[in-house]
Amino acid sequence: MKMSGQTYQTIRKIHLYACLTTVVFFLMYLISGFMMMHHDTFHIEETPHTDKVIPIKTTDLEENTWTRFLKMNGIKGRNTADRTQSDGTIIKEYWTPGEEFKLTINPDQSQVRIESVVKNLNGVINDLHRVRSYKGPILWHLYALMIDLTAIAMILFVLTGIILWLKVLKNKRIGWTVLVLGAFYVGLTMYYLMR
């Protein structure tokens, strides 16, 4: 493959920097993915942590005061469920890696019951793998951005890696064999899944 020295250096840098920029997230996905594959060994345990009833005022449910209320009561994370039952009971759920909160507001909105569970380290790592989408507090947006960056970096690794291989190694027979066999196996698996 013909390539100027400058282009080669640029591609090499992209390959290296893509890895170094996202290596923490990449390793987290690798470790948590392995733990998910062996979930019988890396068992997730949930322990009830909080169960308390707190009196509230109707104004506490307004957006700004509600955020303050959540902070004061140590409720963190993303709002995952918000529903009103037929009797007027409001249920709000929040989730953060390793911790889940359920808030039950009684129909006359005079008190809220806060229940929470905490997970062991396996549960925290498992939850980190499952975080996705641009929703919730600012850090969650940054997390989602890191997911996108890691995904793009992974695509860049592969593409730049293939280009570098074509440039660097003279004997390409082994490389082609490995690449084509891998692609063929994945392609055949997809074919059997789709047919």
Partner 1 sequence: MKIKKSQLIKWHVYAGLFTSVYILAFAFSSLVLNHGWDLENKEVTDYWETTLQLDTSLENDALSHLIQDSLQIMGWIPYWEFRRDAEQFKFRVTHFGKDHRITTNLINGRVTVEGVSKGVLATFHGLHFFNGKIPGASNFLRSWAVYQWLTMAVLVISLILGLILWARFNIHKWHLYLFGGLTVVSLIIMLGI
| Residues within the interface to partner 1 (CB under 8 A) | 16, 19-26, 28-30, 33-34, 37, 77, 96-97, 128, 131-134, 137, 139-140, 142-144, 146-148, 150-152, 154-155, 157-158, 161-162, 164-165, 168-169, 174-175, 178-179, 182-183, 185-186, 188-190, 192-195
Q: Are the C-beta atoms of residues 109 and 58 closer than 8 Å to each other?
A: yes
Cα-based distances in Å from 166 to 3, 9, 19, 169: 10, 14, 20, 6
CB of 2 to partner 1, least distance (A): 19
CB of 182 to partner 1, least distance (A): 5
Q: Are the C-beta atoms of residues 125 and 136 closer than 8 Å to each other?
A: no
Q: Which is nearer to partner 1, 72 or 194 (CB)?
A: 194
Q: Which is nearer to partner 1, 56 or 100 (CB)?
A: 100
Unique residue bearing structure tokens 């990449």: 26
3-state secondary structure of 108: coil
Sequential DSSP letters for 137-175: SHHHHHHHHHHHHHHHHHHHHHHHHHHHHHHH-S--HHH
CB of 82 to partner 1, least distance (A): 18
Q: Which is nearer to partner 1, 53 or 158 (CB)?
A: 158
3-state secondary structure of 15: helix
Q: Which is nearer to partner 1, 112 or 123 (CB)?
A: 123
Q: Are the C-beta atoms of residues 190 and 49 closer than 8 Å to each other?
A: no
CB of 56 to partner 1, least distance (A): 26
Q: Which is nearer to partner 1, 56 or 98 (CB)?
A: 98
CB of 85 to partner 1, least distance (A): 20
